[in-house]
Structure 1
């Protein structure tokens, strides 16, 4: 957690911001939806007028952010309060750094291109994803084969069909192949849940979201999640600020502190902070994970 603690302190000083880091519960001891529920509960608590006033937060400049799996949590934490009149429109922005946004298809082109990493391999990503739902290793094996989705879930494939959403440069003349249905004996209803895969949110849900900033990296196993989400948002008229970095990798944001202090992480940090600085400087409340 050291890189995130340093990032939070650096952000607070750089932007004169109030920064809240959520230490959410971790799987497998606390499986889905514990992490999600903890983040949503914390966001709702902090959005209370008396709490904002207590910490000197400008209610017009509240942003939720996260990277990687925490990007998933930041996305869902941004989506759900919009359905609650008490919290609607209180979150003004969401900043997602190479977010993971779907459990539906485990053979996206970026999954194939970066099967062995760098940093995050396909097998490790799938192991962590499956442990979020269960310690039963049969789910991991099914996801590795892309045969984990249950019967009746084909309607979700249109949200992850990269042939409809990815830039031409990443398609490489390949043809999209759907996951195989109904091969997993165990039942996991969470696989159909938008809290697990916020990429499947409806068009109207996407239109009601806070202003999005999304950063993606070319050399990243979950690159396509972010790229598809950006296209979906733009298709329904949402203005998205997108930074795509060709020479960066997944997890680079964790390499900004000693003994690393690597430029590949510092550049991501600086782009992200620059966007916040431009749009939300002075008394920002940034909820980061």
Structure 2
């Protein structure tokens, strides 16, 4: 093939163009490969009933990546698992400040940090207000009253109810194992119930509710029970609102634990990790709980309170068969005591301890490992004669109640918040 002088002059540019085309092809191929791998990692099977599936996949991708990073860091001995997971709390952290509608102060109630939200506009002379004590979620290991979604929820509650909100900043595990988080909350609540403190915030002692989501729902239920049993406590709650609460640690193989083992945002392995870290830093318990073989003879006598074949409506049984958790002769130990302590597992109290409890609102989600905990508590409360409103979201998933702030704002989360506040309006 002959090339003219003019053509030969343009040869370098021709070769450069060919080289660039080849490079672009490689880049495109790499880009496509990266896209495929990313899509493979992001994509997880999501039930058709769940709305905004792709948004949930992307949101869960962040959570899964953080979990993997925490496991890797823990494995190499770089940083503790929960230390890495606290990044969720750090990223969501905000500084609660007053605005034209809500007056915000940071206080200390008997050594416990709290954030108090009040209406900026004072009511008429002598007008007393409702109050909501709110306990944040996070598996007793993560979370903060200063996270953006909790700050927003407190402001909405203040404005919609003309109420005072006390958001409790209790100490967290693993530095502070059970019962310290519970005791922090209980001290803070009892301090708030003092006559002088209620008068300071102009709160009607007959119109106070306790509320919380996930681990916060666990603490809220335990607080309601403990107040009823406290002979020295004159002020009692009017209502309790439990949002997909954690209620028991004895059977971690209920139908919802099996059905939603790998569901966002709370896979079974993470929930079991939370339980384990709440009790102890000994990894032996974690491995036993993952196998649902952590019960002793001491806790075995309490299994009747978590027998889902009796306490779950048939529609929640699914294709799963009941198998009672095995019992081991471990002897008396702190762990055995903690497992059966109602302050950790409120579902374990006898019927007599349930009868005097205040009316309850219980929110559960179909695609949540904790679904059956909440449903079983609803059954037991109703059997004890307690007035219960049970709102079950057939398209709900764990954490949705807090997903109301961009970029993780979900329509179902907004509906949950609206229904929750509406119930408080009507019942508090």
Give TM-score, length-normalised by structure 1: 0.93
1:53-202 mapped onto 2 (5 Å cutoff): 53-88=199-234, 90-172=236-318, 174-182=320-328, 187=333, 188=335, 189-202=337-350
Q: Is the CA contact 2:311–2:379 (under 8 Å) kept in the aligned structure 1?
A: yes
| Distance in 1 (alpha carbons) for counterparts of 2:227 and 2:286 | 32
Deviations 1:141-180 (A, max 9, x none): 0001111011232211111110001111121354321111
**1:272 corresponds to which residue?**
420
**2:405 corresponds to which residue?**
257
Between stretches 178-187 and 109-118, larger displacement belongs to 178-187
Alpha-carbon distance, 1:184 to partner: 6.0
| Distance in 1 (alpha carbons) for counterparts of 2:215 and 2:227 | 19
**1:244 corresponds to which residue?**
392
Of residues 357, 362, 370 in structure 2, which corresponds to 1:214? 362
Alpha-carbon distance, 1:236 to partner: 1.6
| Distance in 2 (alpha carbons) for counterparts of 1:170 and 1:212 | 21
**1:40 corresponds to which residue?**
186
Q: Is the CA contact 1:149–1:182 (under 8 Å) kept in the aligned structure 2?
A: yes
Q: Which runs of 5+ in 2 are unaligned?
A: 1-146
Of residues 220, 233, 258 in structure 1, which corresponds to 2:381? 233
Q: Which has the larger radius of gyration?
A: 2
Alpha-carbon distance, 1:183 to partner: 6.8
Q: Is the CA contact 1:101–1:197 (under 8 Å) kept in the aligned structure 2?
A: yes
Deviations 1:195-222 (A, max 9, x none): 1110011111100111111111111111
| Distance in 2 (alpha carbons) for counterparts of 1:186 and 1:106 | 21
| Distance in 2 (alpha carbons) for counterparts of 1:69 and 1:153 | 21
Deviations 1:21-67 (A, max 9, x none): 00010000000001000011111110111111110101111000000
Alpha-carbon distance, 1:185 to partner: 8.6
**2:52 corresponds to which residue?**
none
Deviations 1:220-251 (A, max 9, x none): 11100000000011112112111111111111
| Distance in 2 (alpha carbons) for counterparts of 1:273 and 1:37 | 27
Q: Note the aligned Cα RMSD (angstroms).
A: 1.5
Alpha-carbon distance, 1:186 to partner: 9.4
| Distance in 1 (alpha carbons) for counterparts of 2:418 and 2:294 | 38
| Distance in 1 (alpha carbons) for counterparts of 2:374 and 2:418 | 19
Give TM-score, length-normalised by structure 2: 0.64
Q: Is the CA contact 1:142–1:184 (under 8 Å) kept in the aligned structure 2?
A: no
State the secondary structure of the residue aligned to 2:323. coil
Are 1:4 and 2:150 counterparts?
A: yes
Q: Which runs of 5+ in 1 are unaligned?
A: 281-289
